[in-house]
Amino acid sequence: MCGIVGYLGNRDGLDVVLSGLRRLEYRGYDSAGIAMPVDGSIEWRKKAGKIANLAAAIEQDPLPGSGVAIGHTRWATHGAPTDANSHPHVAGRVAIVHNGIIENHDALRAELDGAEFSSETDSEVAAHLLGRELDGGAGLVDAMRAVSTKLEGAFTLVAIDAQDPQRIVAARRNSPLVVGKGDGEYFVASDVAAFIEYTRDAVELGQDQIVEITPDGVSVTSFDGGPAQTKDFHVDWDLEAAQKQGFDWYMRKEIFEQPKAVADTLLGRLNERGELVLDELRISPETLRRINKIVIVAAGTSFYAGLVAKYAIEHWTRIPCEVELASEFRYRDPIVDPMTLVVTISQSGETADTLMAIRHAREQHAKVVAICNTNGATIPRESDAVIYTHAGPEIGVASTKGFTTQLIACYLLGLYLAQVRGMKYGDEVAGLLRELERMPEAMQGVLDNQQPILDLAAELVDETSVLFLGRHVGYPVALEGALKLKELAYIHAEGFAAGELKHGPIALVSQDLPMFIVVPPRGRDQLRDKVISNIAEVRARGARTIVLAEAGDDDARAQASTFIELPRVSTLLQPLLAIVPLQLFACELATVKGHDVDQPRNLAKSVTVE
Ligand code: F6R
């Protein structure tokens, strides 16, 4: 939520920051702005709307050249998305950009008598507080330190001082910030995508730290002035991975990247004895053998991945597994203790609700494993262990390859627990792994057969409501299919457990209402037969049935207005395939409707406020 970039070096700061903002635009696109120190004062431009608006404003009213600049792309929290509420906020000689929420901004505003505010944002108080510290004689680092300790809430702040033009200072608490180190040039940004064009060497920061960047290098200290722990890392993807590569949308590109993302996430998980190894899982087998409960905590699409995981983990390990929305978790006083394994799932690794859930779980002495796609992010850093998904950067706001690679990581975790606890023999684990390894090819098969789903999207462009049904692991797939459609096509879409239909939702079924139904493979006939009966029930009431079932399932085909064929796989793994046509459908329907698929209204990729 909100993207921040700062640059110090020999290039044109405007170019670097604008290109960085474009790569971070998925984090928020309500407004954008840029500031730089020029001849003893701050020069800035800011504009409501997307970065294109800012670029046009700069073209009309050019900024001077500078090797130091900071920029921001906003997801509005306090104050409407107007020019005035856009960042940077300038107070005299200082300019700041901010990500997060300053919870005590009202109290701080009241203390700042005499300050002239030009926005309704919480962020502007930080600019005035810094300005006062500088006017009182402090340097930018000390000023930032003093201000940071006054702020409550979550913040990444990046500041420049017109009278000290070769310095950028940033502070972070509960909000993302990474440093990029190039050859004689330095970057600060909300994520590495902003500077990947220039360097892949990055520094992961800890909580409550202050970063100072000058032409001499980077120095990091803690809020109390003491030494700070940081970790250098190398980004394992390049600029090409962050580009559209001929696709109309990042989302479509990312849907098509799924076979590779899944294969990459599976890579190197077997040792020479054929056993499953999870190198990054820094929790001992003894501890894992003592676990008596698993609680999966996540938000949105990642939560739905967790719902699928529950079926697999309970089946393979016989450990009771709960799945909880991160935003609800700590507020219901959950029963979590040292025997509980908390598994958090987060593509971005920065979701504030999930992060707070982790802190709560660790306070109860539970062990926390994070499933995450982002190196250097806060969630893996604050967890006891991590399983990285290797999906590469996910830039489309709607998660796709994030979801399927999370499923893979969950399956791996489930199998690993089954292995260490002796619930599965080695050959059983190896057999399931071999089946997982065949999934990229099966997914490719679904992608190669995309035309019927694209045609369907064009046909259904004027629909105002679409329902999704599934049972067992098909139920979370239905929920995820509905979420994709809501967020991209802005229409009513709901997922139901197929068996629940008769308990109420069937009243929604009307003539020609489109209903997607995920049919389980024939290996679980009892389950599948029930779903086929559910389709017959809605068909009898006039619904238009779009049936996703395995190839050769003629009973399912007989109930289908449109039949979407899936390759034959075992029931627990079917979500990896069944979700793909639903992703394609939502992407295509939104495209046909003329919506911005990569940047749906009101959303942001990384939700760093609770
Ligand atoms: C929907 C979507 C969101 C995220 C959710 C959690 O397409 O992307 O629902 O899944 O905001 O995000 P992460 O996984 O980054 O914690």
Start-end of H helices in 388-450 = 401-420, 426-437, 439-448
Ligand 1: residue whose CA is nearest its atom 16:
346
Cβ–Cβ under 8 Å, residues 3 and 72? yes
Task: Give the distance (Å) from ligand 1 centre to CA of residue 221.
Answer: 32
Is the beta carbon of 346 within 6 A of some atom in ligand 1? yes
Q: Ligand 1: which of 249, 325, 351 to mutate, most ligand atoms within 8 Å of CB?
A: 351
Q: What is the DSSP letter of 507?
A: G
Q: What is the DSSP letter of 336?
A: -
Ligand 1: residue whose CA is nearest its atom 1:
398
**Confidence category of residue 19, pLDDT binned at 50, 70, 90:** very high
What pLDDT does residue 75 have? 87
pLDDT greater at residue 161 or residue 608: 161
Query: Is residue 11 classed exposed, middle or buried when 0-12, 13-18 and 19+ CB atoms within 10 A define those classes?
Result: middle
Reading the block at residue 609, the tokens are 């406020």
Segment 309-338 mean pLDDT: 95
Side chain identity at residue 437, one-letter code: E
Task: Give the distance (Å) from ligand 1 centre to CA of residue 299.
Answer: 6
pLDDT greater at residue 607 or residue 257: 257
Reading the block at residue 430, the tokens are 């190896």
Segment 369-381 mean pLDDT: 91
Reading the block at residue 186, the tokens are 């330095």
Q: Which fold has domain 250-437?
A: Rossmann fold (3.40.50)
Ligand 1: residue whose CA is nearest its atom 8:
399
Q: Do domains 3-235 and 250-437 have the same CATH topology?
A: no
What pLDDT does residue 604 have? 79
451-592 belongs to which CATH class?
alpha beta
What pLDDT does residue 58 have? 97
Reported as a single tens digit per residue, the pLDDT across 458-512 is 999 999 999 999 999 999 999 999 999 999 999 999 999 999 999 999 999 999 9
Reading the block at residue 203, the tokens are 């520094």
Residue appearing with tokens 């856009």? 86
Is the beta carbon of 344 within 6 A of some atom in ligand 1? no
Side chain identity at residue 187, one-letter code: F
Is the beta carbon of 301 within 6 A of some atom in ligand 1? yes
Ranked by mean pLDDT, the top range of 276-280, 299-303, 379-383 is 299-303
* Domain limits, the chain: 3-235, 250-437, 451-592
Residue-averaged pLDDT of the chain = 94
pLDDT at residue 348 tops 90: yes
What pLDDT does residue 237 have? 84
**Confidence category of residue 279, pLDDT binned at 50, 70, 90:** confident
Ligand 1: residue whose CA is nearest its atom 9:
300
What pLDDT does residue 112 have? 93
Measured CA to CA in angstroms, residue 396 lies from 249, 306, 591 at distances of: 8, 21, 13
Residue appearing with tokens 């749906």? 600
d(CA 494, CA 577): 20
d(CA 105, CA 126): 9
End-to-end CA distance of the chain: 11
pLDDT at residue 1 tops 80: no
What pLDDT does residue 506 have? 92
Q: Sort residue 504 into left (φ over 0), alpha (ψ -120 to 50) or beta.
A: left
Segment 237-246 mean pLDDT: 85
Cβ contacts of 339 within 8 Å, gap of 6 or more: 290, 291, 292, 293
Measured CA to CA in angstroms, residue 152 lies from 101, 329, 448 at distances of: 8, 22, 51
Is the beta carbon of 383 within 6 A of some atom in ligand 1? no
d(CA 16, CA 199): 12
**Confidence category of residue 273, pLDDT binned at 50, 70, 90:** confident
The CATH architecture that domain 3-235 belongs to is: 4-Layer Sandwich (3.60)
Task: Give the distance (Å) from ligand 1 centre to CA of residue 92.
Answer: 39
Segment 299-307 mean pLDDT: 98
Q: Ligand 1: which of 371, 410, 607 to mutate, most ligand atoms within 8 Å of CB?
A: 607
Segment 73-97 mean pLDDT: 93
pLDDT at residue 534 tops 80: yes
Handedness of CA 501, 505, 510, 515 (dihedral sign): negative
Is the beta carbon of 348 within 6 A of some atom in ligand 1? yes
Is the beta carbon of 389 within 6 A of some atom in ligand 1? no
Task: Show which residues are catalytic.
Answer: 2, 605
Is the beta carbon of 373 within 6 A of some atom in ligand 1? no
Reported as a single tens digit per residue, the pLDDT across 99-144 is 998 999 999 999 998 999 999 999 999 999 999 999 999 999 999 9
Residue appearing with tokens 């903002």? 21
What pLDDT does residue 341 have? 97
What pLDDT does residue 28 have? 85
38-42, 406-410, 522-526: the lowest-pLDDT one: 522-526
Please report the atom of ligand 1 found closest to the CA of residue 300.
9
Helix (H) or strand (E) run with residue 392 in it: none
**Confidence category of residue 239, pLDDT binned at 50, 70, 90:** confident
